Structure 1
Amino acid sequence: MYIGMVSSPEAPAGTAAPAKAAPTRREQRTITSQRRILEAAVDCLIEHGFAGATTSAIQARAGVSRGRLLHHFPSREDLLVAAARHLAAERVAATTARAVAEIDGHVTGSTRVTNVVEMMWMSFHEPHFWAAVELWTASRTNEWIAGALLPVERHLGGVIRSSIDRMWGPELVGHPRYAQLREILFTSMRGVALAYAFDHRDPRRDPHLPQWTDTALVLLEV
């Protein structure tokens, strides 16, 4: 999901690009260990909040030694920022894949608009959003987290917008008011979703949902 800023040089014409070597057993153990730690950190962040996501709690949940945890992530802040990025990237990819599978090629017009608006809205009720909220709140008074989180969020914002574009499809994305609509929906949904931290109700019945759909239909002239 995360793309490097510098492109790799192209292979000479007529030659195949060298295949990436499979990870060694040691490298695979490292990858598995890091993933287990990140997933444990995300679970702690979602279930117990920033204050409760301590290194000892994460270590116990991941089932790893303290030395191994600190080897991969020297500080709690490093770990929690990496964990939020890990989950968000996975959920963006999963949401996009589900949307493309459900609507690409066979859902168009107003039905596509309705479906995509609902999918966008429901994505703000998945675990990655609340993990991010915990870190956003912590970053207000923690300059280290704020500094570490800023480039992650800027990059992730680009990834999310690219994924949203795929959900809408090239025809609707090509409309001159599409970019305006995307930002209206994205920022409005994020703000409304925050109230669900204390108001636990069915988001599919939120009164804003038909308003967002109507706005999309009008702006995109569907």
Structure 2
Amino acid sequence: MGVVTSPKQDRSRVTRQRLLEAAVSCLAERGWSGSTVSVVAERAGVSRGAAQHHFPTREDLFTAAVEYVAEERSTALRQLFPEGGADRREVVTALVDLFTGPLFRAALQLWVAAANEEQLGTRVAELEARVGRETHRIAVEMLAVDESRPGARETVQGFLDMARGLGLAHLLTDDTGRRARVVAEWARILDGALG
């Protein structure tokens, strides 16, 4: 039996979700300096007061937004490969795709802002550590990696670092063709290194 919620709780949950999704979109499109609570509230179709009720500070809103979308992304990724990855190239492609969408662009904007704002920096570092661990865990699971093998953990981490680099390159140019060749090569490397 599920938890019974009141219409007010349902509205509150929907408002919160709309704010989080709007915050990620704003951050990806406008960057930190162009993303304020007022801009996000307007995009989400709620009042600034309602936004501040859910997220008292700008830092609260944007760190929660990136965390929320990262969790959604992890869930979607696991649903793509419910049995683990049958074809390593497909899994490598899906993992690289994590770093080419609006979530990565929003997270990058948050990282840049965090580098310059001490209060935000601590929160983003904690968030990124959690998201990084979860991404690594998903990669290990989907690539069917035996981390007890020497070098396996470092190989997965190197792959994720490469995927992040491809995401950075994608911010400036559409490198779809080159990325496909790199993905194919990394799938081959992972097959050799991980068995």
Name the TM-score, length of structure 2 as normaliser. Answer: 0.89
Residue 74 in structure 1 maps to residue 47 in structure 2: no
Q: Using the alignment, how far apart are the partners of 2:33 and 2:81 within structure 1?
A: 34
Q: Report the equivalent of 1:167.
A: 142
Distance in 2 between residues matched to 1:122 and 1:211, nearest whole Å: 16
Distance 1:203 1:68 in 2: 44
Q: What are structure 1's unaligned runs of at least 5 residues?
A: 1-18
The Cα of 1:180 is off from its aligned counterpart by 2.2
Residue 24 to residue 147, structure 1, CA distance change in 2 (3 Å): same
Q: CA RMSD in A?
A: 2.0
In the alignment, is the contact (CA less than 8 A) between 1:175 and 1:220 conserved in 2? Answer: no
Identify the match of residue 201 of structure 1 among 155, 175, 179: 175
Please name the residue that 2:73 is paired with: 91
How far apart, in 1, do the equivalents of 2:178 and 2:21 lie? 28
2:21 is matched with: 39
CA shift, 1:206, in A, is 4.4
Q: Give the distance between the partners of 1:198 and 1:70, measured in 2 at CA.
A: 34
Residue of structure 1 equivalent to 2:110:
135
Q: Residues 29-68 of structure 1: matches in 2 within 5 Å?
A: 29-68=11-50
Alignment correspondent of 1:212: 186
Asked whether the equivalents of residues 100 and 166 of structure 1 are also in contact (C-alpha less than 8 Å), the reply is: no
One-letter amino acid matched to 1:68: A
| 1:90-110 residue CA offsets vs partner (Å, 9 max, x unmatched) | 011101211336x65xx3xxx
The CA deviation at 1:43 is: 1.2
- Following TM superposition, by how much is the alpha carbon of 1:148 offset from its aligned partner in structure 2, in angstroms? 1.2
**Map of 1:157 onto structure 2:** 132
Q: Tell me the percent identity.
A: 29
Based on CA coordinates, which of the two structures has the bigger radius of gyration?
A: 1
Residue 190 of structure 1 corresponds to which residue in structure 2? 164
Contact 2:23–2:61 (Cα < 8 Å) also in 1: yes
CA distance in structure 2 between the partners assigned to 1:142 and 1:174 by the alignment: 37
CA distance in 2, matches of 1:220, 1:197: 30
Instruction: Name 2:99's counterpart in structure 1.
Output: 124
Which residue in the other structure is 1:9 paired with? none
The two structures have a TM-score, normalised by structure 1, of: 0.79
Amino acid at match of 1:179: R
Provide the residue aligned with 1:10 in structure 2: none
The 1:154–1:164 alpha-carbon spacing in structure 2 relative to 1, beyond 3 Å, is same
Task: Give CA-to-partner distance per residue, 1:60-112, whole Å, 9 cap, x none.
Answer: 111111111111111112111111111111011101211336x65xx3xxxx2
CA distance 1:167–1:196, shift in 2 (3 Å) = same
Q: Secondary structure at the match of 1:51?
A: coil
Provide runs of 4+ in structure 1 moved above 6 Å.
Answer: none
